[in-house]
Amino acid sequence: MKQFESISEELVSLVGEWEPILEKLSRETYTKVLNSQNRSIKQILGHMVDSASNNTHRVIHLQYQPSPLTFPDYANFGNNDRWIAIQNYQEENWHDLVKLWRYINLHFAHVILNIQDDKLQNKWTTAKGESVSLEEMVIDFPRHFKLHLAEIRELIK
């Protein structure tokens, strides 16, 4: 989809820029330094994997399910922390996690290029009762992605 080409290109570019930075981090840096949410860089990266995964599922479901769709909201009410804990990202092999982060975000960049135009206004309802269109969700994804990269950048300093 032409509308999302720039978003896809931006995600691909950011992944390409950040993968070598992440790969060079010391074990001490990616496991011990914590942000204001008490998350390590490993846990932030894991959350970014979850975000790309959940958003990929939303993109797919919103193209064939009736709208509005009630989709499990992993990000609110502490659920994102549960996802991080249940998957135990803190103990994940660092290089495997970086590769997973890379490939799931590259896949998401691919998926958004294939969204059907007539499905862009299909909506899902968040756990907070907010209505979000498929188009709004995709447009907002880079903001969320860059927010977490900024968190990592701060922790690296």
Domain locations in the chain as residue ranges? 2-156
Please report the pLDDT score of residue 138 as a whole number: 97
How far is the CA of 108 from the CAs of 4, 84, 100, 121, in angstroms? 11, 20, 12, 19
E strands in 5-154: 69-70, 123-125, 131-133
Dump pLDDT digits (tens) for 119-151: 999 999 988 888 999 999 999 999 999 999 999
Contact 50, 74 (CB under 8 A): yes
Dump pLDDT digits (tens) for 67-115: 998 877 777 766 888 899 999 999 999 999 999 999 999 999 999 999 9
Q: What is the pTM of this model?
A: 0.94
Edge to edge, the sheet with strand 131-133 lists 69-70, 123-125, 131-133
The CATH class, in words, for 2-156 is: mainly alpha
Q: Residue 147 and residue 45: Cα distance in Å, rounded?
A: 12
Please report the pLDDT score of residue 102 as a whole number: 98
